[in-house]
Structure 1
Amino acid sequence: MTLEEKLAQLVGFWVDQGDEVVAPMAGEMATSTRYEDATAHGIGHLTRVYGTRPVEPLERARWLWAEQRRLQSQTRLGIPALVHEECLTGLAAWKAATFPTPLAWGAAFDPELVERLGRAIGRSMRELGIHQGLAPVLDVIRDPRWGRVDECISEDPYVVGTIGTAYVRGLQGEGVHATLKHFVGYSASQAGRNHAPVSLGRRELEDEFLPPFEMAVRSGAVRSVMNSYTEVDGVPVAASTEYLTGILRDRWGFDGVVVSDYFSVAFLQTMHAIARDRGEAAQLALEAGIDVELPSGDAYLEPLAERVRDGRTPESLVDRAVLRVLTQKEDLGLLDARFDEAPEAVDLDDAAHRAIARELAERSIVLVSNDGTLPLGGDGRGSAPARIALIGPNADSAEALMGCYSFANHVLAHHPGLPIGFAIPTVREAIAARYPDAAIAGVQGCAVDGTDRAGIPAAVEAAREADVALVVVGDRAGLFGRGTVGEGNDVESLELPGVQRELVEAVVATGTPVVMIVLSGRPYAIGWALDGEPGAVPAAVVQSFFPGEEGANALAAILAGDRDPSGHLPVSLPRSAGAQPYSYRHPILGGPNEVTSADSTPVRPFGHGLSYTEFVRSGLRVDPIVPTDGTIEVTVRVRNAGSRAGADLVQLYARDVVASVTRPVAQLLGYCRVELQPGEEALVRFEAPAARLAFTDRRFERVVEPGRIELWVGGSCEHEETTGSFEFVGPVHPVGGEAPAVTRAAIVRRTGGSPD
């Protein structure tokens, strides 16, 4: 291969790049290179062929198949391009299904369902000739002020790892390579600001931020990783040999391809100022371990070629990256692929897609509070409301159901007037369909953002005339200031945007029962709606993290009682912005104490979620002695003590009482969804390798130490309903070199119960 042919394999070309802002500083980085010139020696990636503009999928597929044939026949080496696309909430293409956002995946606590989701998305991508998906996001949430929280799964690294790895298995099971984002530390940015510096201690990085990535690499066999934009302790990750080679490849054995987040190689010059020019930036990135520059060749083409030609950059660095890229293309079957006929028909939103979207949305909805107003009836258990006031800026908005990386909010926002391209009923439409005989008064009340209060009196009047008022508030996802949450939409306050709180409080003051429904991409500080005086707070609060195309139907089913709510908070509901960053996995000093007047305690803890039935957990049993290299075996009984069927999330927590370094006051050891009929009881067994409680000691070695461990099961990390303890015995046991430990959970016996 000539140098030009090698470098061509290390870059992408953004075919449709224009004025739309769908990546950070994209306008400033736009290239004027003609496509024909850019592909004269071949090309490594085609960037977002379907996901940059609204193009008819089949028409674009015909173009893509023809273009792949051209690359095979009219370039010297005949190597097809690898096509990559965003796929965080579904394939980012016009008319493709839009699923719940990843924060909703976390709320569902259902890895098996997320694996099915990954397979459905992967199938659509494969049918359209897409080879690599830029998902999942494995950043551990630390600060809900950060705009990209809706792309994340949870504040718990084990939940992030198990659910993220399930998505990887699903996507790659359909022959599409997944890409882990954003390696590493991105979500720990100062003050929750996008692209801000990160100051992480080595131990916190090892124990909190690296484990999800390690699990997806070692257990999920992921084939691609994307670097983080951030700098950790002054070193940009895009130039960190320690992270991109030392940890990722040398320690974990990753043998896939590392791709740059968009423009991050050039950012080494323009935003981090550790490179004098693009050529030096290219060398730093290559040395660190970035194989492919995306979305285009700002640094890896001519700037890098010049340095290689004059001997400043060893060509061996280029050869190393090219070998990895060609190996990936061979693994995908691209080197021998035939592109004879483009697909003649494809359904990107078929019944299977919608069934998964509905199930995931239903399982992710969290009932945060309820005085008995919910369910609303009409489910055979009570009379349906005759008059419903449907209030709020998100009550009749399809966009409010979708996350930042949905095609509608990411791309179609630049093309007003174009239809979304698939069915996505709003909350108003879903409620009207569920209650066809009810008189529904729809009043917006206020916008998502802004200070206009003119609509609040009409909302109040509608509520006074109703049997129940559904007030739908929250976010509008978008990019870089276009919205209230999403990439680049970081905030200083965690109050509901605009005057939405005033709207809710005014409606509550009417005395009509109010159900506050929060459609959002981050948790907000809504303690005022949960812990106020009776009569001054909503009768019920429902949290739904951007639930996707079937989200409104799922909400209607939950509100009516057709389905029992079973979602749980994957992230703590914050007390205030001033209490951030926060993690339920904090050490003792990270919680409230007598020497500070500031209280970081969340208004509702990680794992919280109510039901329409009642679950009782009891009889936790564990062997009193466990070797430091052994297995922790725990059994617990959970009984549905209510009168209707439901699903409990059995949450097993642990606390290391005394250790050589400070440890969290609570750590999720395992979890299991258990569906139970009224009166039914299940015996649940957890088998957790001792390594699940390993940590980084003072010598920065990962170990299991002897000592006492307390256990509990309850309705959240703070609810110690049934408890036990055991003693780790034996020598300090080093952990490393194997796949991360996973707790196995299973129902071993069911007794009692009757059909609902």
Structure 2
Amino acid sequence: MPGSLRSPRVSALLADMTLDEKLAQLVGFWVDQGDEVVAPMAGEMQTSTRYEEAVAHGIGHLTRVYGTRPVDPRERANWLWREQRRLRRETRLGVPAIVHEECLTGLAAWQAATYPTPLAWGASFDPSLVTRMGERIGAAMRALGIHQGLAPVLDVIRDPRWGRVDECIAEDPYVVGVIGTAYVTGLQSAGVHATLKHFVGYSASRAGRNHAPVHAGPREIADVLLPPFEMAVRDGGARSVMNSYTDIDGVPVGATPRYLTEVLRGEWGFDGVVVSDYFSVAFLETMHQVAADRAEAAVLALQAGIDVELPSADAYPALADAVRSGAVPLEVVDDAVARVLTQKEDLGLLDDPFDTPPAEVELDAAADRELARTLAEESLVLLSNDGVLPLSSAAARIAVIGPNADSTEALMGCYSFVNHVLAHHPGTPAGIELPTVLEALRAELPEVVIEHARGGDVEGDDRTGFDAAVAAASRSDVAIVVVGDRAGLFGRGTVGEGNDVDSLELPGVQRALVEEVAATGTPTVVVLLTGRPYAIGWALPPRGAATGATTGLGAARRTDDHHRNGERRPAAVLQGFFPGEEGGAAIARVLSGSVTPSGRLPVSMPRTAGGQPYSYLHPTLGGLTDVSSADPSPVLPFGHGLSYTSFVREELTVDPAVPAGEAFTATVRVRNTGERRGADVVQLYARDDIASVTRPVAQLLAFARVELEPDEEALVRFDVPTQRLAFTGVTGRRIVEPGAIALWVGPSCAERETETRMLITGDTHTVTPDDPRVAQVAVAARTNSPA
């Protein structure tokens, strides 16, 4: 941070610091680090430095004080307040520590609320609700003396084989940016700094393998991977950024100033703090092998733009010798320290006496649970339905089957406290109520006889439970089979950090379980609880039959309309992306019809693993063509989702012509033509017909979630900057080109229900960071249609 931008207080502190005191501000200390495996190679990187030695000159961060093992929040808060007072009183400068925690699906601490995973945020298409969630998470963190949250993840999904897909929001960078920025806004409104992860390119690794090399070109980086981060920095005011582990074209992100300094600070004007992903500075030596030792790794990282080494001081202490030898100018160290001190000043740490720890700590209040349930309900995506859903009152007996039917862990993602930490502490209670799908269905349908049969496990090939599952289904009116993932870390589970796959079939023998249950002829509803989309074309009706809205006939019946070559398909498929602590209740309410499903796919539903990586944002030759026998097209498109009611979208109108660099207005009329209240996600897409570089066959420009009563209609207005159509041109600059644009609104990216055209006129516009990035949305009018 240049001296002219430092406050007088920060400047005075910096001038009074010794080199050791400065370097202490650039590292963290992991107080509880032991045998916990909650970070890559945490055991191998375990520090032997005693805490008293590490904080003798002060300390920049305290790492995961609450989230490394199950500790009583009130007792730990008392310890933390005492320790902060000690840092104020017993270190020479009296500077307290920043406390950071994971908070992707809620504060990752024992007894704290667990919200749906980010894929579910994307499926909800509801940024306002995500903002409210961020506010609640931030308030809990601030009450416990936590200052920085390591979320949100803004990596754009590029390959569903990657294990960390469950931490991501969508495959569309605009959706990631809008919803990720909403989370940042909510969290920071509570006085907690958000940390954008993982800057940049992490999700584009080769074959979806964790930490694998990235070979994305500069156009993909600029047009797909960077925009969500720019939105969160420029529009959301994010105060912290975390580097990506990956290397791009052979150069680790943590060892080059290209992204962390030139783009982030130089082009976007970011003046916050860059923190390292855990151990990533040391990884420059041990994994990337671009540094001969930790000292060289520290020099590379600091000069690249990493201010703070987390989780502990594994390399940065060596900067002392580098400064003394002249390998690193002292000014570079001073700039990083000034940014850390400025962050502490902004957070109020320099004035906080830490004299009153919280007397009561309520981390899972009724308001949290209500919000978690609402977000879970909005995120559930009805993929197919032959009319069996919502469940009819005629269904007097239901079989609830599957390894995830009575599992609490199946409701939560990799970075939930239950799966991230408690998995290492068997027998420790979750600390929060976690009703399973089975328990929630019994509560939702008290008059129905519900029989449970596990059927099998998420992983493995044990089929000994199949017979009991088939028998239960055969004597029931409806069978609900709950299958999917178990989130975990580094081989413990089927999805999550380090749990990458080379197949997109459901893990284990779960497909066989579903098929045997469906073969009984009992109408079978599949509920997927997963952290990634799977190749489930075998469970879906032929293309077209699954894409129209259903009317919610609700008759629990045996039919012959879901056969496939003599075999029976499931009658309905409901997708849940790790819906959190109230996910069981949300699923039960959607199945019963108490709630109308409204989620939409934030990622394409793949046909095969061999078609990956795939994105709906592909050019013509990136999809199914006559020049290749391979079919990468998905079985269900981005944006797809059914309902128990139906919607008509019509009368799309748009300004016929607009100069490049200006904004245009598009309006569309949406009507609920069914018999139930429901929510439609209005999706405005565009196609740039002819451009100087290849363009996607479809691109989401804007979206709006609209609640409508039966026969009610709304006029939805989008004010769209033409910069939403910007791309990196042949010269490497982001531009808006003049030319013809096709626009449409439909129930997914693949369906043009109402369409029109417009013309971008004038000269080519060069995009700058000050240009608008976000479409404005308004429901301009709402009327009841005549009967």
Say whether the fold is shared (TM-score over 0.5).
yes
2:548 is aligned with 1:538:
no
User: What is the match of residue 390 of structure 1?
Assistant: 400
Say whether residues 1:464 and 2:474 are aligned partners.
yes
Which structure 2 residues correspond to residues 597-676 of structure 1 after superposition, within 5 A?
A: 597-676=629-708
Letter in 1 for 2:374: E
Q: Deviations over 1:166-201 (max 9, x none)?
A: 000000000000000000000000010000000010
Say which SS state the counterpart of residue 334 (structure 1) adopts.
Answer: coil
The aligned length equals 749
Note the residue ranges of structure 1 that are not aligned, 5 or more in a row.
Answer: 378-382
Say yes or no: does 1:110 pair with 2:131.
no
1:345 aligns with 2:360: yes
C-alpha distance in 2, partners of 1:561/1:534? 22
- Equivalent residues in 2 for 1:508-527, closer than 5 Å: 508-527=518-537
Q: How does 1:252-271 map to 2 (within 5 A)?
A: 252-271=268-287
1:589 paired residue among 613, 621, 624: 621
User: Once the 2 structures are TM-superposed, how far is the Cα of residue 613 of structure 1 from its aligned partner?
Assistant: 0.6
- Shift in CA distance, 710/53, structure 1 to aligned 2, threshold 3 Å: same
2:715 matched to which residue of 1? 683
Q: Which residue of 2 aligns with 1:152?
A: 168
- 1:315 CA drift (Å): 2.1
- Is 1:18 matched up with 2:50? no
Worse-matched range after superposition: 430-439 or 569-578 = 430-439
CA displacement, residues 629-651 of structure 1 (integer Å, 9 cap, x when unaligned): 22121111111111111111100
Counterparts of 1:36-435 in structure 2, within 5 Å, are 36-301=52-317, 303-377=318-392, 383-435=393-445
Shift, 1:309, TM fit: 2.7
Distance 2:491 2:663 in 1: 49
Structure 2 Cα separation of the partners of residues 310 and 287 of structure 1: 15
Equivalent AA in structure 2 for residue 506 of structure 1: E
CA–CA distance in structure 2, aligned partners of residues 741 and 407 of structure 1: 35
| Aligned counterparts of 2:337 and 2:740: Cα–Cα separation in 1 | 51
Q: Confirm whether residue 441 of structure 1 aligns to residue 447 of structure 2.
A: no
SS in 2 for 1:225: strand
Alignment equivalent of 1:709, drawn from 734, 741, 744: 741
Q: Which segment is superposed worse, 695-704 or 489-498? A: 695-704
Distance 2:663 2:786 in 1: 35
Cα distance in structure 1, aligned partners of 2:373 and 2:771: 33
For residues 276 and 577 of structure 1, what CA distance do their matches in structure 2 show?
A: 38
Shift of 1:313: 2.5
Preserved contact between residue 723 and residue 771 of structure 2 (Cα < 8 Å): no
Shift of 1:319: 1.1
Residue 727 of structure 1: aligned partner: 759
The Cα offsets for residues 663-716 of structure 1, whole Å up to 9 and x where unpaired, read as 000000100011111111111111101111111100111111110000000000
Q: Report the equivalent of 1:5.
A: 21
Query: Counterparts of 1:351 and 1:49 in 2: how far apart (Å)?
Result: 25
Quote the Cα distance in structure 2 between the aligned partners of 1:282 and 1:474.
Answer: 42
The letter of the residue matching 1:448 is V
Partner of 1:380: none
> Aligned equivalents of 2:430 and 2:655: distance in 1?
56
1:33 and 2:49 matched: yes
- Which residue of 1 is the match for residue 768 of structure 2? 736
Q: Secondary structure at the match of 1:336?
A: coil
Secondary structure at the counterpart of residue 84 of structure 1:
strand
Report the Cα distance in structure 2 between the residues aligned to 1:253 and 1:315, rounded to whole angstroms: 23
Residue 350 of structure 2 aligns to a residue whose secondary structure is: helix
Paired with 2:46 and 2:654, the residues of 1 have a C-alpha distance of 60
Structure 1 counterpart of 2:592, which letter? A
Distance 1:566 1:310 in 2: 62
**How far off is 1:306 after superposition?**
2.3
**CA-CA distance at 1:754 after TM superposition:** 9.6
Give the Cα separation in 1 of the matches to 2:632 and 2:35: 43
SS in 2 for 1:187: helix
Please tell me whether the aligned partners of residues 126 and 174 of structure 1 are also in contact (alpha carbons under 8 angstroms): yes
| TM-score, normalised with respect to structure 2 | 0.94
Residue 425 of structure 1 deviates from its aligned partner by 0.1
C-alpha separation between the residues in 2 aligned to 1:739 and 1:70?
47
Q: Paired residue for 2:547?
A: none
TM-score with structure 1 setting the length: 0.98
Q: Give 1:310 shift.
A: 3.0
Q: Distance in 1 between matches of 2:309 and 2:662?
A: 44
CA distance, structure 1, for counterparts of residue 655 and residue 111 of structure 2: 54
1:479 aligns with 2:511: no
Shift of 1:739: 5.0
The whole-number CA distance in structure 2 between the counterparts of 1:230 and 1:754 is 58
Query: 1:680–1:754: 8 Å Cα contact kept in structure 2?
Result: no
Alpha-carbon distance in 2 for matches of 1:95, 1:617: 44
Cα displacement (A) at 1:753: 5.3
Structure 2 residue matching 1:255: 3-state secondary structure: coil
- RMSD of aligned Cα (Å): 1.0
C-alpha distance in 2 between matches for 1:739 and 1:82: 34
Fraction of identical pairs, as percent: 70
Indicate which of 529, 536, 546 corresponds to 2:539.
529
Question: How much does 1:440 deviate?
Answer: 1.1
Structure 2 Cα separation of the partners of residues 739 and 248 of structure 1: 16
CA contact (8 A) 1:147 1:491 kept: yes
Go from structure 1 to structure 2 and tell me whether the alpha carbon gap of 1:396 and 1:739 turns closer, same or farther (over 3 Å shift). Answer: farther
**Which residue identity is paired with 2:303?**
E
Q: Which residue of 1 aligns with 2:465?
A: 455
SS at match of 1:448: coil
Residues 1:496 and 1:104: Cα distance change in structure 2 (over 3 Å): same
Kindly provide the amino acid, as one letter, of the partner of residue 26 in structure 2. Answer: L
Superimposed CA distance per residue, residues 385-435 of structure 1 (whole angstroms, 9 cap, x where no aligned partner)? 211100000000000000000000000000000000011100000000011
CA distance in 2 between partners of 1:753 and 1:357 (Å): 34
Q: Distance in 2 between matches of 1:131 and 1:312?
A: 33
Aligned to 2:4: none
Confirm or deny: 8 A CA contact 2:402 2:453 kept in the other structure. Answer: yes
Change in CA separation of 1:658 and 1:311 when aligned onto 2, cut-off 3 Å: same
- Report the Cα distance in structure 1 between the residues aligned to 2:716 and 2:662, rounded to whole angstroms: 20
Contact 1:677 1:753 survives alignment (8 Å): no
The CA distance in 1 between the partners of 2:365 and 2:125, in whole Å, is 25
Unaligned runs of 5+ in 2: 1-16, 543-560
Deviation for aligned residue 1:534: 2.2
The answer to whether the Cα contact below 8 Å between 2:133 and 2:186 also exists between their aligned partners in 1 is yes
**Is 650-659 or 746-755 further displaced after alignment?**
746-755
| Structure 1 position 384, deviation (Å) | 4.8
**Contact map agreement 1:218 1:739 (CA 8 A) in 2:** no
Q: How many Å separate the matches in 1 of 2:257 and 2:655?
A: 44
Q: Which residue of structure 1 aligns with residue 550 of structure 2?
A: none
